[in-house]
Amino acid sequence: MDAGAQLLDNLNAPTTCVVCFCPFEGKSEADREGSQMPRVLPCGHTFCTSCLLQLLAPEPNGWMACPTCRQSHLQPPGGVSGIPVNYTLLHVVETAKEAEKDGHCGVHNMTAFSYCKDCEELCCPACLSDEGKHHRHSTQLKEKAAKEVKDRLDMDVKQVLSLLPQLEARQNEVP
């Protein structure tokens, strides 16, 4: 793997849990127990709360092993909820999401030209490369995806509007 491909791979990895590949998320202190909240073990590896709940079953003596490096850690009081939230990573993830809303790729902060149907998110050419997050996913130009969504919404609105007279008639029948 060349240096550029390795860099792309490293940029994609930190925003998702390496166990389940779901994106990290968590908006506030109130959502601290969220299933995709990133939590950092003492060895420095980060995983989502959901995976930690499944993978870090404590041994009888209260120790647990990191899924990546297998280093043993004493389970904190309170179990997984006692493992610190990786707020730095959470900030990176939330910043990437905001950039994506502006028509930029959430990973590379490049202009997004495509929409990944599999992940339901915008992606840039780097994401579509051989080492990118959306390589071999089903994608299309973002304008085409937006038109398809608009067309589906238009059909749904027409269907609802066509049912309104029937609903109004039934409402008048009810005493």
Which DSSP string corresponds to 23-52? Answer: BP---SGGGTT-TT-EEE-TTS-EEEHHHH
Any domain includes 139: no
The model's pLDDT over 110-134, given as tens digits with 9 standing for 90+, comes to 788 888 888 888 888 888 887 788 8
Dihedrals φ, ψ of 9, to 5°?
-60, -45
Question: In CATH, what number is assigned to the domain containing residue 17?
Answer: 3.30.40.10
Q: Which residues contact 87 (CB under 8 A, 6 or more apart)?
A: none
Torsion angle, alpha carbons of 36, 91, 132, 136, to 10: 40
Q: What is the pLDDT of residue 67?
A: 87
Note whether 83 and 40 are within 8 A (CB): yes
Q: Which residues contact 159 (CB under 8 A, 6 or more apart)?
A: none
pTM for this prediction = 0.51
Any domain includes 132: no
Residue 17's domain spans which residues?
Answer: 3-101
Any domain includes 87: yes
Dihedrals φ, ψ of 37, to 5°?
-65, 130
Any domain includes 111: no
The model's pLDDT over 27-69, given as tens digits with 9 standing for 90+, comes to 644 445 568 899 999 999 999 988 888 876 656 677 888 888 9
* Domain total of the chain: 1
Nearest-Å Rg of the Cα atoms of the chain is: 22
Any domain includes 126: no
Any domain includes 160: no
Q: Tokens for 105, please give them.
A: 């790729």
Any domain includes 11: yes
